[in-house]
Structure 1
Amino acid sequence: MDYKIGIVEDDSNIREIVEGYLKKEGYEIHAVDSAEKAWDVFNSESMDLWVLDIMLPGMDGYEFCKRVRQRSEVPIIIISAKDEEVDKILGLELGGDDYLTKPFSPRELVARVKRHLKKWTAMNTFDKQGDEERISAGDLTLNATQRRAYFEGIEVDTTAKEFEMLKILAQQTNRAFSREELLVQVWGDDYFGSDRAVDDLVKRLRKKMKNLPIETVWGHGYRLKDEES
């Protein structure tokens, strides 16, 4: 499979080194020096992974990451000179999948790129034969085979993680899931970040489906209410 990788880095030396190493692996590279240019690429090309610097002129990497996560679950590897734990956590909570502190080994970056591309490919080609094709909960209907969501009779665009969250909640309506359970089931047990990522995902779902009966279970997590079940 031919992978396309976007690189967002304003330091020309680092950008050229990263581009060179990734090109040697056979990847098609789109390298830019600003988040604004990267956003144009995102809206015109389908990337399989982004390598993203945080400290950029104009729009910073955090804002770019946040925008991408509104529409896609494409892997994002953050590279940054900021090595404080709070910066790493913020980057991951805004949707980054990995974080490398400068200076870093280009070979390590290549290894991480390969690992995330493998997971991305597996997620997009996962065999759904064991799933029930249709899952219904009140006004929410999910087609698990086609990964399509409908609410109040209208199809709703969802990212992969948004759909997975809906599916987990809809399969066991009225059950209270802890944030930790949802984090492991949606992101995987190797995810490094806090359970605030769950809150952010629920917030996005509530924004897309204003009457969706996802209830907050204070101090615990969330449940999808279905009075008919």
Structure 2
Amino acid sequence: MSERRILLVEDEPTIGAAVTDRLTAHGHEVVRAWDGPGAVAAFEEHDPDLVVLDVMLPGFDGHEVCRRIQAIRPVPVLMLTARDDEADVLVGLAVGADDYLTKPFRMRELVARVAALLRRVDRAAELAASAQGSVREWGDLRLDVGARRVWIDGDEIHLTPTEFDLLVCLAAAPGDVLSRERLLAEVWGWAEASGTRTVDSHVKGLRAKIGADRIRTVHGVGYALEVGAER
């Protein structure tokens, strides 16, 4: 994978130094910020390819940072949180985070998550280039893969990059149940199944935006997109 510029926003010096060293060792350029206002300023100045963002920050928190930078330009965000609380995770996903890690975490896992997010960016660009004009409709749900846009009953729905990729994956086989492991592999690019809770959290966020009844849960297996008859 080619060198990418990563913005690391972390106010704990020990963690920040360790993450910087590990990402640099994997060939990335790392730009640092230590608080909310500094993170937004660094994002505007350095135009990073990915942001690693702590939730608890001086100035204003990581959720507000994520909301502000996503309003400037969509970018993959990996959030670091000290609390493994579903409500906190859902807030992060709602403001545009793509993934999260709970402290303390293994550096190897952080590097793997970063690599997976960057691969998804590349795949999304390739898919968009090959899917120009690819529009599908099921009832009042309209999906334009090339433009990465979604409408329900004529109203555009704003999804995060991960939510959109998840919807595209489910829409590729409407009505079919896709396992959490398959979704992890195809959407997140993970070869192991330790992140199935990540899938559940993103499905919950997607349901909140497109309607809970559009995604069927098969307990112990996975999820299916319920779209009715295709027009």
- Give the shorter-chain TM-score range: 0.5 to 0.7
Root mean square deviation, CA, Å: 4.8
Deviations 1:65-108 (A, max 9, x none): 98699985614385x9x8xxx97xxx99975477897997xxx9
Aligned to 1:165: 166
Aligned to 1:226: 227
Query: Where does structure 2 lack aligned partners over 5 or more consecutive residues?
Result: 93-97
Deviation at 1:171, TM superposition (A): 2.8
1:10-21 mapped onto 2 (5 Å cutoff)? 10-11=11-12, 18=20
TM-aligned CA distance change 1:14 to 1:226, over 3 Å: closer
Aligned to 2:8: 7
Deviation at 1:188, TM superposition (A): 1.4
Q: Greater helix share, 1 or 2? A: 2
Deviation at 1:223, TM superposition (A): 1.5
Aligned to 1:125: 125
Q: Distance in 1 between matches of 2:149 and 2:106?
A: 42
Q: Distance in 2 between matches of 1:187 and 1:147?
A: 17
Q: Distance in 1 between matches of 2:52 and 2:176?
A: 38
Total equivalences in the alignment: 215
Aligned to 1:199: 200
TM-score, length basis structure 1 = 0.64
Query: Where does structure 1 lack aligned partners over 5 or more consecutive residues?
Result: none
Tell me the secondary structure at the aligned position of residue 146 of structure 2. Answer: coil
Deviations 1:138-191 (A, max 9, x none): 221111222211111111122222112212222322222222222222111336
Tell which structure's C-alpha radius of gyration is larger. Answer: 1
Tell me the secondary structure at the aligned position of residue 149 of structure 1. Answer: strand
Deviation at 1:120, TM superposition (A): 5.3
Q: Distance in 2 between matches of 1:136 and 1:125?
A: 22
Q: Distance in 1 between matches of 2:218 and 2:105?
A: 40
Instruction: State the percentage of identical aligned residues.
Output: 28
TM-aligned CA distance change 1:200 to 1:143, over 3 Å: same
